[in-house]
Amino acid sequence: MTEEELEWYHAGISMMKKDGDGRYVRVPDRIFRDEEILRLGHSVDWYFNDASRTLIITHNHLEKEDYEYSGASTRFTEGDSKYGLTVPKPFYDDDAGIEGTSITNDVMEKLDLPKDGFLHFVYHSGMISGTKESCYILTEEQFDKRFSDSDVWDGALDQVPKFF
């Protein structure tokens, strides 16, 4: 299947919120109810795609050479009417450090996740088929750069994003 043949989906947008000394993001229902990209009570592995410089989340192990495992795995839990996913601290807090994780300095230099702000959950039809379900997490800036009509965005992804 070529990139032009893939159907792209915007599962939702969620604001990063403070939770104690950490941050979490509410996972859109479509990600775990409809597509089972994530599963409640299971760990979520965070990958960095070097080619697109974006984060990818999954409940599976990704083996492609373009996906660099960040070393961060967090739980996806339900509670108080939220379906929260803890965001690994090194991704948004420069002072957290990467010691004790397999996150490399190279990844941290390429990743610019805000402490506050919105994150978009985006995937294509190839990411929900088979056993390697996964989803891109894009910042507002990344979303705007990849979808040229994002300033008049109506909630539908009618174009192939510019990832590369």
Least confident range of 99-108, 113-122, 130-139, 150-159: 150-159
Q: What phi and psi values does residue 159 have, to the nearest 5 degrees?
A: -135, 160
Per residue in 102-123, pLDDT (tens digit) is 566 666 666 667 778 899 999 9
pLDDT in the model for residue 135: 92
Question: CB atoms < 10 A from the CB of 68, how many?
Answer: 19
| Global pTM exceeds 0.85 | no
Amino acid 9: pLDDT:
87
Q: Are 28 and 137 in contact (CB under 8 A)?
A: no
Question: What is the distance between the alpha carbons of residues 59 and 37, in angstroms, rounded to a whole number?
Answer: 7
What does the pLDDT average to over 126-144?
86
Mean pLDDT, the chain, whole residue set: 76
Q: For 34-89, what is each residue's pLDDT tens digit?
A: 888 988 888 888 888 777 778 899 988 887 776 777 666 677 777 655 788 888 87
